[in-house]
Structure 1
Amino acid sequence: MGGGLTLDGLNRQPQIGNTRLQAPIGLAPFNSGMFGQDGSIGTDGLSFYRSFCNDRLGLLCVGGLAVAAAGRANRSSMCLDRDERAHGLRLVCETAHAAGVKVAVQIEHAGRQTGPHETGLPSVAATAAPCPVVGGSPSALSLGEISLIVDQFVHTAEIAARAGADLIEVHAAHGYLLSGFLSAATNTRQDRYGGNLERRFRIVHEIVTRAHAAVGHRIGIRINVHEDLPGGMTPDQAIAGLRNLRTKLAYISISGGMYTRARDVIIPRRTLSRALWRDQAATVRTELGVPVMIAGNIDTPELAASLLEHNVSDVVLFGRSLLADPDMLISATTGRQIQPCTDCGQCKYHTKGYPHIYCPFHPTLRPLRSTWKRRRTD
């Protein structure tokens, strides 16, 4: 994808659902741990999100907001289950909008990849099989419980919209609850939510259809196109499963992986391929005709511009690279040296015992480390 490409692709203003972005670059969604359990956000948290907001960024993704207390991914996660918990999110939206940046709010249920040690509540899943990393004994959701989960996703989408979210992303990737339904590797149900592809995708169809009716054309989905397991999700399965939702989806965010003790492709090592899911993203975009977002080992503005100019995706999401240098996009056009991500792994804050997201290069985060009492040693 080289060959003398410029940064011209970074000047596009893609239309995503009913929202036009000022730039085709976004901050990837991650659970920052910056919100209090009451939904508040402190000065440091607001400064953290503000650090990314400039006229070169089109989309700020706020990730990891749970639809129910039992669905929090870890003890630092916030549950957006009522309007009173939306005041911190509202401040983030106002901050981003002041810089012309749109906001996507990612809503999720962690399913079997969380548990009582994090939430104080029993874990649930499509099928009563433990996560190979988290362990535990998740219970299989009953039909009534599935109906409640659907209600919770729709309710949280409505809360996020009222708080100012321009886009709302249903997290159906990475082995979390919805992802566990979609994948034949983790869904062995024999009822209307398991078995063939159509039944496995039923819960996502119900959520997206109802959420679209409730908040309009701002619903996106994050979905796996790769799972290193027998029967795991593939691009063809993702395309077939989402085909009937094309008119209701504002975008599809392409990703891969689930919790595993093998190599991690959710937050992939830099030694793996760059733009890890570019071929799959291009295929999904062509087949479904829905705007696509892509993340996964995209480490330079030049690579992002290449993906955009080759129509691989409509929006490129940076995670660790923007975390290490929030001014990276400005630096790319001014000639200032960019601070690269060194793949130190400290952004995986929960496994390090940090209270929230951390990067040793981020100007807001770096001074905070000395104030922490770490829960565990490296």
Structure 2
Amino acid sequence: MDDPIPDVLAPAKLGPVTLRNRVIKAATYEGLSKNSLVTDELIEFHVRHAAGGVGMTTVAYCAVAPDGRTHRKQILWTDEALPGLRKLTDAVHGEGAAVAAQIGHAGPVADPKGNRAPALAPNRRFYAAATGFTKAATQDDIERIVQGHAHAGRMAIEAGFDAVEIHLGHNYLASSFLSPKINRRKDEYGGSLENRARLSREIARAVRDAVGDRIAITAKLNMDDGVPGGFWLDEAIQVAKWLEADGSLDALELTAGSSLLNPMYLFKGDAPRRDFAAAMPQPVRLGIKLVGRWFLREYPYEDLYLLKDARQVRAAVKMPLILLGGVTDKQGMDTAMAEGFQFVAMARALLRESDLINRIKDEPDTESLCIHCNKCMTAIYGGTRCVLVES
């Protein structure tokens, strides 16, 4: 606490990488890949944010296995994808920003119909969001997915990425193993917190062993699933301690909510149920109309809404932390720095104004135009954007 408060807009080290500032464009699924490959539209999306002034932009979501996609269009780590990924990283670097790839396996959040494979989970169970029963992950599945993360790390280096972000949140596969509500296994991956955290730690270790210190490694970790009986802050603090002791990560980004059970818990603000229904095919559209008010709950928005819980993680570990959630202006960024966070991550505010960071540099009192209506979430499969801005 005696260290000087860093300037959020000055260069900073993230593992082996130097970013031009401490602002990261958080991973938001762009909906702009095609046939699991990069498109010009996806490149333009990240170039726009790089040109807008962020220190690093994050490409989401890059699945480590075909059955780990939430949509069949999502990027896979294949030889066919490399030329497009190299074109993307070169373009972002040309604007002076770094670029990260979010890697992971969607687990029970995956799309079994689009993937033509069952959604994996700790146990076999019916989930409406998965439109059917999940498949209990076998030991072979676990080993395949751990090695898939390592393979993604190696390919990220080849593609020119500066960092990878391991997805350990939102009840994607690793997060579903962490959750006592979802994980009812009786083997070494279930029961105690140490067992439930085993997969997350194995993934992080495999990625570190694969990439060494050639690129930065971060992870997105839930602090709270947002459902009774789910993963909670006290367990998240212990997992953060273990990840720190393992030495696998250069930084940890703290998040919350369950894409499987309570998706709006992370996205404080409005819950645009009618817009969600209109964007979805049947029978999902009908399901949202019937039960949307229970599944798509509404939580009041306030700036820095994850800070209260994140402070407790900050007090427990020394590793660099990235504060996400309601970061919209210079005042909030400075608060994060003063509270001991090394980086901030922004999503919706940058979807509304991709040049917001440059504007804040020119005028520190600049306020975000984002109104937290969350209608951007309804656009993800047609190209994520702020729907209030004319294209």
Give me the TM-score of the superposition, normalised by structure 1. 0.86
Report Cα offsets for 1:299-357 as digits up to 9, x if no partner: 2232122212332x211111010111011112123349666113333321357xx4221
CA distance in 1, matches of 2:302, 2:263: 13
Change (3 A) 1:40 1:200: same
- Corresponding residue for residue 50 of structure 2: 53
Give the AA of the match of 1:241. V
Q: Measure how far apart 1:198 and its partner are.
A: 0.9
- Corresponding residue for residue 356 of structure 1: 383
Are residue 78 (structure 1) and residue 106 (structure 2) matched? Answer: no
Q: Measure how far apart 1:127 and its partner are.
A: 1.5
Are residue 198 (structure 1) and residue 194 (structure 2) matched? Answer: yes
Q: Measure how far apart 1:259 and its partner are.
A: 2.7
- Corresponding residue for residue 100 of structure 1: 96
- Corresponding residue for residue 10 of structure 2: 12
C-alpha contact (below 8 Å) 1:39/1:87 kept by paired residues: no
Change (3 A) 1:131 1:172: farther
Q: Measure how far apart 1:29 and its partner are.
A: 0.5
Change (3 A) 1:256 1:190: same
C-alpha contact (below 8 Å) 1:285/1:292 kept by paired residues: yes
Aligned length: 353
**Higher percent of residues as helix:** 2
Give the AA of the match of 1:46. I
- The 3-state SS of whatever aligns with 1:221 is strand
CA distance in 2, matches of 1:189, 1:263: 24
The runs of 5 or more residues in structure 2 that have no matched partner are 271-299
Are residue 231 (structure 1) and residue 229 (structure 2) matched? Answer: yes
Q: Measure how far apart 1:262 and its partner are.
A: 5.3
Q: Measure how far apart 1:52 and its partner are.
A: 1.1
- Corresponding residue for residue 320 of structure 1: 348
- Corresponding residue for residue 62 of structure 1: 59
C-alpha contact (below 8 Å) 2:328/2:367 kept by paired residues: no
Aligned pairs (5 A) from 1:119-158? 119-158=115-154
Q: 1:345 aligns with which of 357, 369, 374?
A: 374
Give the AA of the match of 1:304. M
Report Cα offsets for 1:136-170 as digits up to 9, x if no partner: 10010111111111111111121112111111111
Give me the TM-score of the superposition, normalised by structure 2. 0.84
Are residue 292 (structure 1) and residue 321 (structure 2) matched? Answer: yes
Q: Measure how far apart 1:24 and its partner are.
A: 0.7
The runs of 5 or more residues in structure 1 that have no matched partner are 1-6, 368-378
CA distance in 1, matches of 2:260, 2:134: 17
* Further displaced range: 334-343 or 235-244: 334-343
CA distance in 2, matches of 1:266, 1:310: 21
Q: Measure how far apart 1:122 and its partner are.
A: 1.4
Q: Measure how far apart 1:181 and its partner are.
A: 0.5
Q: Measure how far apart 1:263 and its partner are.
A: 7.0
Give the AA of the match of 1:31. Y
Q: Measure how far apart 1:13 and its partner are.
A: 2.7
Change (3 A) 1:122 1:245: same
CA distance in 2, matches of 1:139, 1:113: 12
Give the AA of the match of 1:323. L
CA distance in 2, matches of 1:263, 1:174: 8
Are residue 265 (structure 1) and residue 265 (structure 2) matched? Answer: yes
Change (3 A) 1:263 1:138: closer
Identity of matched residues, %: 25
C-alpha contact (below 8 Å) 2:303/2:326 kept by paired residues: yes
Give the AA of the match of 1:251. A
* Further displaced range: 320-329 or 272-281: 272-281
CA distance in 2, matches of 1:263, 1:361: 22
C-alpha contact (below 8 Å) 1:349/1:358 kept by paired residues: no
- The 3-state SS of whatever aligns with 1:103 is strand
Runs of 4+ in 1 over 6 A off after TM superposition: none
CA distance in 1, matches of 2:131, 2:15: 39
Are residue 89 (structure 1) and residue 85 (structure 2) matched? Answer: yes
C-alpha contact (below 8 Å) 1:35/1:88 kept by paired residues: no
C-alpha contact (below 8 Å) 1:23/1:55 kept by paired residues: no
Q: Measure how far apart 1:254 and its partner are.
A: 0.2
